[in-house]
Amino acid sequence: MEIRSLVSFRDFDKIDIRVGRIVAADPFPEARKPAIKLTIDFGAEIGTRRSSAQLTRHYAPSDLPGRLVLAVVNFPPRQIGPFMSEVLTLGVPDDENEVVLVTPDKNVPLGGRLF
């Protein structure tokens, strides 16, 4: 895989990636691609935010509440059909290009910033 372009640490530092806990997950049948609507708690500083994530291959909505996830919290909100997504939940593709969540491997405080 080729690296697309180099960024400085200063550029990277502008992206605010935080840990949150999924508190609710609901089917999103109106989405063009199969997706799940997430409500994520990022702790007292940021609060609760919503996200649409294309996770249906590996996750059922009932499996997601309680999971820790990483998300970009400082992108502008994005309208996805009738839903306003406020954060970008992070994932990586598996061998079939299906999304697998990026999660901390230990319990960490909500709102913790990736650095």
Q: In this predicted model, what pLDDT tens digit does every residue of 11-26 receive, in sequence order?
A: 999 999 999 999 999 9
Count of structural domains within the chain: 1
Cβ-contact 54, 99 below 8 angstroms:
yes
Q: What is the pLDDT of residue 4?
A: 77
Q: What is the pLDDT of residue 111?
A: 98
Q: Can you tell me the distance from the alpha carbon of 101 to that of 92, in angstroms, rounded to the nearest whole number?
A: 7
Indicate whether 93 belongs to any domain.
yes
CATH number for the domain that contains residue 93: 2.40.50.140
Q: What is the pLDDT of residue 1?
A: 59
User: Which pLDDT tens digit goes with each residue over 67-105?
Assistant: 999 999 999 999 999 999 999 999 999 999 999 999 999
Indicate whether 106 belongs to any domain.
no
Q: What is the pLDDT of residue 29?
A: 92
Domain range enclosing 85? 14-101
Q: What is the pLDDT of residue 46?
A: 97
Indicate whether 46 belongs to any domain.
yes
Average pLDDT over residues 46-72: 97
Indicate whether 95 belongs to any domain.
yes
Indicate whether 112 belongs to any domain.
no
Instruction: Check pLDDT > 80 for residue 54.
Output: yes
Q: In the predicted model, what is the mean pLDDT of the chain?
A: 95
Which residue, 47, 51, 109, 106, is CA-closest to 77? 51
